Amino acid sequence: MLVSVLLACFGDFGDRQGVYKQIDTTQLLSFKYQHVPHPIGVYVHAPVENDLISTEILRTGTWDTDTASFLVDAFKQHPHALLLDLGANIGVFTVMTLLLGKRVISVEAQAQNTDMLRRTIKHNGIQGRDLTLINQPVSNTAGAIVSFQGPRENNGATNTMQLRKTCSPYQMGVTCGVTTTLDAALSYVRNQDIIVKMDLEGADCLALQGGSAFFAANRIVAITAERQPWTLQWPKTFGCNFDDEMHKIVTRWGVKPHYS
C-alpha cells in the first residue's frame, strides 16, 4: 500500500526542504547496539529483502558495529561533543546517539529515509532530544538540482552527484533534490566540538568543500568516513580530491580519521 505524506518545511525537527512524496509500506524491526541498554525499534524499508541495510538488520539485529563503537569511544573522550551525521540513511547512528543523551545534526537527502527516522524517534519516545534534521543533499554549491542515483537493492548506496535541469515538487526528495552546503545550512553552529560520521557515496568530498567555514569555526574532534573506490573516483569529475579535503581537516585539528 502506498501512503501520501507531506513533510512540512517547518517540521518538528527543523527540516530545510519540504516535500510531497509517496512511500512504500515500512517495517518495524528490533535493533540492538551493545552500547544502548535496551533494544531499539527501528523502521526499515519493506520488503526487507529488497534493501541491503534492512536485510542486515533483520538478519543480525544490528548494523555496522565498528562505526558504532568508534562513535561511542569518541563520545567517551569528548562527552560534550555533538554528532554531525552526514548521510544518515534511516538514522541508526542518529538514534543511538540521541539515546546516549548526545546532540545530533542529522543530514539525509532522501525523504523516505527521513520519514522513517522520524517514526523511529517517535516510537522510541525521544522526540524531545536535541536533534536538527536536514532533509537535503549537501554539496560544494547551494541551489544545484541533482538526481538520486543508486541500485534498487541498496538504498544506502544512493549518490547525489548527477546534475539535472528540473525537479518537480512531487519528486523532491524522492528522485531528485536541491543542494545546500554545510556552510549555508549550519552557519549558526560555532565553537562546538564535532564528531563527524560521513557516508555520502562519493559526495563526501563535495560536502567537505562546501563546509570549509563550518570546519574552521568548530573543533573537529573525531571523524569517520567511508573510503571506497567510488568515494575517491566520482568526485574527481568535479575537480574534488577526497584525500586532499580530508587532509585539510586532519592537519588543522590533528585527528586520525577512521575509515570504513
Q: Give the residue from 12, 138, 140 showing the smallest Cα distance to 85.
A: 138
- What count of residues does the chain have? 260
Number of domains in the chain: 1
Q: What is the pLDDT of residues 234-260, one digit of tens each?
A: 889 889 999 999 999 999 999 999 998
Query: CA-CA distances (angstroms) from residue 58 to 9, 49, 74?
Result: 32, 9, 27
* C-alpha atoms less than 13 angstroms from C-alpha of 21 in its C-beta half-sphere: 25
CB–CB of 80/100 below 8 Å? no
> Cell numbers at residue 49, please?
529483502
* Strand segments (E) across the chain: 3-7, 19-23, 26-31, 40-45, 82-86, 103-107, 131-134, 145-149, 159-163, 176-178, 193-198, 219-225, 258-259
Q: State pTM to two decimals.
A: 0.88
Q: Which residue range(s) make up the domain with 57?
A: 3-259
Q: What is the pLDDT of residues 154-202, one digit of tens each?
A: 666 677 878 889 999 989 999 999 999 999 999 999 999 999 999 998 8
Q: What percent of the chain has pLDDT over 90?
A: 70
pLDDT band at 4 (very low <50, low <70, confident <90, very high): very low
Radius of gyration of the chain (CA): 17
Question: What's the CATH code of the domain at 68?
Answer: 3.40.50
Q: What is the pLDDT of residues 65-75, one digit of tens each?
A: 999 999 999 99
Q: What is the DSSP pairing of strand 219-225 with strand 258-259?
A: parallel
Return the SS3 of 19.
strand
